[in-house]
Structure 1
Amino acid sequence: MLFRVLPGSPVPLGEQIAACVRGAIADGTAAPGERLPPAREVAESLGVNVHTVLRGYQRLRDEGLIELRRGRGAMITAAPGVADQARLGEAVHRLIAQARELGLADGEFLAMVRNGLADAPVHPRAD
């Protein structure tokens, strides 16, 4: 898996690392059950602190895209729909970045999302 970060970007490095994994899951280059490289290796290859990589991995864990197991590392979740979830997560992060570029306050952005949700038709999940 290829990790790239832009140190001068306003996007935090940990989020950039998470975005690399999300993108790989979304486009199918990383598959459920695949192990991610150890945080220490990623940190050394990117020239960043290992805690920065761990923040990115923890964010992915919080999103349900990876599992972190002590001594066994990080692995892409084998749950159904993980690629769809990764694509949606990437879209959300792009939308947030656009809102910030436009100078929208978080409250304004959330109000727009709430209004959009209120106007959108509800489709039941097929679990």
Structure 2
Amino acid sequence: MLYRVDTSSSTPLSEQIAGCVRRGIADGLLSPGDRLPAGRELASSLGVNMHTVLRAYADLREEGLIDLRPGRGATVTKTNPRELAQLMQTVRQLVAAARRAGLGREELMSLVGKEFT
């Protein structure tokens, strides 16, 4: 899998790294149980601080896409990571569109809530 970051982008590096993993999962390049590169290894190859990679991995863990285990590293979760990754990409696109439209968090949540009724 190819990881890329654009240091001139306004998107934080950790978000770019997490996005690479999300896309890999959503596109089927990463499967449940697959191991991600070690934080230090990935940081070195991208020329970023190791804590930047660890922040990306922590975000992915909070989203339920990866498991982090001391000594074992990061692995893609075994419970529907592909569907969840696709959903997370859609949510990020929705939030970006809402911001462009001038909607705040509560307005967006209200719109989403109406779709569940």
Same fold (TM over 0.5): yes
SS of residue paired to 1:91: helix
CA 1:47–1:101 in 2, change beyond 3 Å: closer, same or farther?
farther
Letter in 2 for 1:47: G
How far off is 1:8 after superposition?
A: 2.9
Q: Which runs of 5+ in 2 are unaligned?
A: none
Is 2:95 aligned against 1:84? no
Aligned residue pairs, count: 117
Match of 1:99 in 2: 98
Letter in 1 for 2:44: E
Letter in 1 for 2:113: R
Match of 1:19 in 2: 19
How far off is 1:101 after superposition?
A: 3.0
Cα RMSD for the two superposed structures: 1.5
CA separation in 1, counterparts of 2:102 and 2:54? 29
CA separation in 1, counterparts of 2:102 and 2:43? 32
In the superposition, the TM-score normalised over structure 1's length comes to: 0.83
How far off is 1:12 after superposition?
A: 2.0
Q: Which runs of 4+ in 1 moved over 4 A?
A: none
Deviations 1:51-106 (A, max 9, x none): 11111101111111111010111011112x22111111111112112222333222
Match of 2:57 in 1: 57
CA 1:100–1:48 in 2, change beyond 3 Å: closer, same or farther?
farther
In the superposition, the TM-score normalised over structure 2's length comes to: 0.89
How far off is 1:13 after superposition?
A: 1.6
Q: Which runs of 5+ in 1 are unaligned?
A: 119-127
